[in-house]
Structure 1
Amino acid sequence: MEFVVLPDHPAADEVRARLPKRYRKTLCHHSGRPWLVGNWPADAAVCVEAGPSKIVLFGTAHTTARELLVRLEKARTVRELDRIAERTAGSFHLVASIGGFVRAQGSLSGSRGVFSTSLAGITVAANRISALGELRRLTLAEDQLASHLLAFTPPWPLTERSVWREVDSLPFAHYLLMPPDGTAKPIRWWIPPAPELPVELAAPELRTALVAAVAARAGTSSVIGADLSGGMDSTSLCFLAAESDAGLVTIRRQLMDPLNCDDSVAGRAMADLPGAQHIVLDNDTASPYYESPDREDLAMDEPPPFIAMASHMEDVARTMASHGVTRHLQGHGSDELAATGTTYVNAMARRSLLGSLGMVRAMRARRRWSLATTLRVVRAFPPYAEWLHRSANELLCPPDVESEVGWEPAPRLPPWASREAAALVRDAMTRTADTDPQPMSSIPTQHEILRCLRVNGWIVRFANTLGEPFGVSFEAPFLDDRVIETALSVRLADRYVVGRHKPVLVAALRGTVPDYILDRTTKSHFTVDVYAGRKRNLTKMREMCEESRLADLGLISRDGFRRALSSAMPDPMHIGPLEKTLACEAWLRSLAVKTGPQTH
């Protein structure tokens, strides 16, 4: 699905004429000028109008045209559409035109993004950068590309910046206001709730939000797909989906680790979902990790968050499509909503150091913190801009326990990053810090949760570029705005219970999801699969190193990258950075094939 949003301005006709013929659908402002141009499935849009006012929800919105019309009729300005955004379950773009003013917004997680550029004297917005690339030539910003080599992700708010110089990404929790004069500006419409709701009140609200989120996907088709890994997150979604009227098709990848405990739990869950069709991808049918790391067909607008599982995601989309599935549920975001790491310990200690001593001791023992590190965790963090300044000067420091402590995991460049790349990233971070950026929440643990949710939104965006050729949309109900707001409103003290995993989610789903899933305290991982896939495809990775576009741009050392790939058993701390570097390489190879955007 691609669409371009145009202001109610005379130049809109000129911009529309530049779009290729495949942008077949057009909706107009009340004035008759083009407003929305693109391609979208009929079941992926709810469109209503009330006199001169119009609104479209693109995606999975748990509402009807009649319900949306009633709400639109009450709005006199685009600002008054906040209630629609706040109260509609699902994940969608909201685009409205009222009195010549346009409002365009995506989701809080960024799984549905909004991007804009200037053209013909006006601002043009779109849900995909590729749509803007049809209208003008785009040039690569090397400093932002270099930041994608960082372990984890670029720090906030560098995460909000596009790798294209001519493109602006809509900031977190904002909508884009486009007046009839052709200008545009982001407007803040949402702030994180105060974490004050007791779990006994929050749990029913979270359950309601999750049920509505799943219903938003299941209500538009006769069959829905879902991951059934055996973990709490995706497996819980399977049981929620089983309560809908849609048929359920589940899929899981059998792990190579003989000690994994997910398979037995998943097998038990399959027996408890007898009305569903279950598919298991074993070692003979599942694509290995890092299959085709040298691919040149990535349609992503930006460097992707991963490359190891790309072929597996395509396997899932292909299999789901063959069973009539168009929407597939995944558990992205649940871990992040329930996060109780260092920033959570800090939040509890700041409220009551004495009351948090038990938690601090337990965390210190589990993570083997020194006394100095423990004291850094419990004392007040510096202002965000100060933390960002300090982090900019430590980009090439090796990661250690101390780097866990702060507003975010400390951004670190891998050993094979060049000094030129470090200088570019350092300058970008320093310039940003000089503007005194405010965190997404004044409470560090809430900021960290939101940052991680934005990473998951990025993952979902990429997954959908892989699923799109098969007609399959990957859906993450835990990333829906209403689910996020409810989870963030839970009282901090209720989010952690010694010996329990995700107590708030457990309280919300008890009675719907079997106890053997909710009471799990173990979790399997993909380490064996990752190393096996790396070994199988190492020759291709080495060829990528020798032909490295990143090295040609001066952003990495070819020798350093070669050494990291040639290690018999790579340092576990390098697995993530290697993934990021390989993903950037594959993306740059795809750009070279497209021969469109320029790097200078």
Structure 2
Amino acid sequence: MSIDRGECRVVEGRDRTTVLIGHCFADDDLVRVRSGDLRALMSLPGAYSAVVVRDQQVGLASDASAQFPLYVSTSGGDVVFGSRAHAVAEQIGVRLDLGHLAAQIVYPLVPELLVSRTAFHGVRQLEPGAALRWSADGMSRMTATPLTAVADTTFDDCAEELRECLRIAVSARTSIDSKMSSDFSGGLDSTSLAFLAAPHNEAVPVVTYAQDGAPVDDDLRHAELCGRLDPRLKHHVVVGTGEHLPYQSWPSAAELPHPSYLAMGPTRLRVAAAASLGAMVHLVGEGGDLVLGAPLGYFVDLARHRDFATLWQRCSAWGRLRQRSPLALFRKSVALASTNRRQGLTGFVRQLERAHPESFVPSWEEHNITSWGVPLCDWLAPRAREALSRQLIAAAEDDDRMDACDRTTLVQLDFAGATQRAVRETGAAQGVEVHAPFLDSEVVRVCLSLPAWRRCDPTSPKPLLRKALAGVVPQAVFGRRTKGDYTVTSYQGLRRNLTALRKMLDEPVSAEIGLIEPVRVRRALERAARGLETAWAPLNQVLAVELWLRELTRGDADV
């Protein structure tokens, strides 16, 4: 067992030991009472993973976004687990999983490849909300936190439960010894958290970020408006300079490759402002967009479940919003619904072999209305394509009963958890605990208990949050209909650091191990430098992997 002691709490019981990794806001006595049942243990307030040891039996349970991940290896017949993937890999011999690294770049919506596997061969991550138990009788998997819809859940009941979960999530983080602050982006999520925090504090510093030369005026105007609605909210605007743009000041030792580390400048500045105002706990809205909305793969699920009336209504609404033909969206959804797992994954494999024009960026409907995703780029080297194809074909044989929306949600939850890890580490470096209440396991469970098509509405952003916090958060907070777009800062940051990025891609380690075709990636970089439409997700992932590999290969990892 290898557990990071940074955010670790040990609760000793009469016949078992419980290790909580993360933020659990229940007292030790309640933890002892719940520790005999992993599902009951994981329903306490907070975001945390757990290890329960009793005699010759061990149980592991992951939080609902794997923000505090647990990794397991069963290589050689022994079970090795821990909270650091590299530490587990060192126990069995560090070898890279080329197929997983390739999957992170082209992004098939297959949790078995993107979530369960890691960058290290033979090291698996426990999926969000999952549990694992083993003893002398063998190993079994189970659910610790349900992350799928509950058939008889009503919208009103879900909203009422969410209201209580968010109230507990915020109040539990309030301490008379620790001043609390909050992001205040102008969006619904962080703004709502700030208003929930206000009754528990005499004053709550709230921080809005603006980039010099590229301010998002809608965000600033709405943040300033909302900041005047409660005198306990003390609004501060911090202005980022060129030093806070993406693609610079990246960390030297990220646990696993993740693109969020490329753009931590705004977070550093916001947390620094919070620290200077005396805050020790800072709230962020990370995860809100995910749990309060839904991937549009639910179009495919509506077709598969033959709810054509609802499907047509949603196709019409999204068609108007995105200027697309509702009939084309409807037909695409019905066609995808008739595609089984084997057909979908073998189709993805065939698409991997296709060359794209340099200007290729998946269309909105290709990227969003999908069961298994489409390759986001054609930059993989032959060796990586072969490794990923083998994994996809093997996964095609698995039994799959998950809806398309649930698969995508699981992948996105894992991504959100990794993003929050980067944010949390950035805050810790400045002595501030950064918390994301929307990623608390009970908050995630409650939101996802409502069917996807009822969680989101193209004509009314985040209806579940509006209903849940009506009368608690001023109605003016929910009056906004736009969402800030920060893409321009990606272009600015890339141009500012173009020399360093070019040098990184001149002789990339990722090409040496057979992961990418560097010429194609360099062309994509130059297109972005010229301000042309760019496939940002795969480009950022390639850069994140390259930085991570450079640090890792100092220890001579094998492929």
TM-score interval, smaller chain: 0.7 to 0.9
Deviation of 1:501 after TM superposition, in Å, equals 1.0
Partner deviation per Cα, 1:315-352 (whole Å, 9 max, x = no partner): 44444444454443221222122335532334445453
Equivalent position of 1:146 in the other structure:
102
In the alignment, which of 175, 187, 207 is matched to residue 251 of structure 1? 207
Partner deviation per Cα, 1:391-442 (whole Å, 9 max, x = no partner): 22212555345624655462415243323322222222112212x2425xx3
- 1:222 paired to 2:188: no
In the alignment, which of 8, 14, 17 is matched to residue 54 of structure 1? 17
Equivalent position of 1:298 in the other structure:
252
Equivalent position of 2:296 in the other structure:
342
User: Separation in 2 of the partners of 1:133 and 1:314?
Assistant: 31
- 1:45 paired to 2:32: no
User: Separation in 2 of the partners of 1:307 and 1:154?
Assistant: 22
Q: CA RMSD in A?
A: 3.0
Greater helix content = 2
Equivalent position of 2:359 in the other structure:
none
Partner deviation per Cα, 1:494-547 (whole Å, 9 max, x = no partner): 434463111111000111222122121111110222211111111111111113
Are residues 164 and 271 of structure 1, via their aligned partners in 2, closer, same or farther at CA, if it must alter by over 3 Å? same
Are residues 100 and 419 of structure 1, via their aligned partners in 2, closer, same or farther at CA, if it must alter by over 3 Å? closer
Under a length normalisation based on structure 2, what TM-score does the superposition of the two structures give? 0.88
Q: Name the % identity.
A: 26
In the alignment, which of 461, 475, 482 is matched to residue 515 of structure 1? 475
SS at match of 1:483: helix
State whether residues 293 and 456 of structure 2, in contact with CA within 8 Å, keep that contact through their aligned partners in structure 1: no
Trace 1:471-550 onto structure 2 (pairs within 5 A). 471-491=431-451, 494-497=454-457, 499-550=459-510
Are residues 394 and 511 of structure 1, via their aligned partners in 2, closer, same or farther at CA, if it must alter by over 3 Å? same
State whether residues 491 and 531 of structure 2, in contact with CA within 8 Å, keep that contact through their aligned partners in structure 1: no
Trace 1:166-205 onto structure 2 (pairs within 5 A). 166-179=122-135, 186-191=141-146, 192-205=148-161
In the alignment, which of 401, 409, 416 is matched to residue 449 of structure 1? 409
**Greater Cα shift, 414-423 or 107-116:** 414-423
Give structure 2 stretches of 5+ with no counterpart: 357-361
1:61 counterpart letter in structure 2: C
State whether residues 51 and 60 of structure 2, in contact with CA within 8 Å, keep that contact through their aligned partners in structure 1: yes
- 1:263 paired to 2:217: no
2:229 counterpart letter in structure 1: D
Deviation of 1:142 after TM superposition, in Å, equals 2.0
SS at match of 2:193: helix
Matched residue pairs, number?
546
1:98 counterpart letter in structure 2: R
Equivalent position of 1:157 in the other structure:
112
Deviation of 1:247 after TM superposition, in Å, equals 5.8
Deviation of 1:588 after TM superposition, in Å, equals 1.4
Are residues 494 and 123 of structure 1, via their aligned partners in 2, closer, same or farther at CA, if it must alter by over 3 Å? closer
- 1:331 paired to 2:265: no
Deviation of 1:355 after TM superposition, in Å, equals 4.7
User: Separation in 2 of the partners of 1:246 and 1:60?
Assistant: 24
User: Separation in 2 of the partners of 1:316 and 1:150?
Assistant: 32
Are residues 119 and 212 of structure 1, via their aligned partners in 2, closer, same or farther at CA, if it must alter by over 3 Å? same
Deviation of 1:129 after TM superposition, in Å, equals 1.9
SS at match of 1:249: strand
State whether residues 321 and 458 of structure 2, in contact with CA within 8 Å, keep that contact through their aligned partners in structure 1: no
User: Separation in 2 of the partners of 1:389 and 1:45?
Assistant: 45
In the alignment, which of 366, 382, 390 is matched to residue 419 of structure 1? 382
User: Separation in 1 of the partners of 2:342 and 2:328?
Assistant: 23
Partner deviation per Cα, 1:428-487 (whole Å, 9 max, x = no partner): 2112212x2425xx3333333333222211212233344443344432211222112211
Give structure 1 stretches of 5+ with no counterpart: 6-36
In the alignment, which of 61, 82, 91 is matched to residue 39 of structure 2? 82
Are residues 508 and 565 of structure 1, via their aligned partners in 2, closer, same or farther at CA, if it must alter by over 3 Å? same
Deviation of 1:264 after TM superposition, in Å, equals 0.9
State whether residues 299 and 333 of structure 2, in contact with CA within 8 Å, keep that contact through their aligned partners in structure 1: yes
Partner deviation per Cα, 1:368-411 (whole Å, 9 max, x = no partner): 44544431214534233432222222125553456246554624
Equivalent position of 2:58 in the other structure:
102
User: Separation in 2 of the partners of 1:82 and 1:227?
Assistant: 32
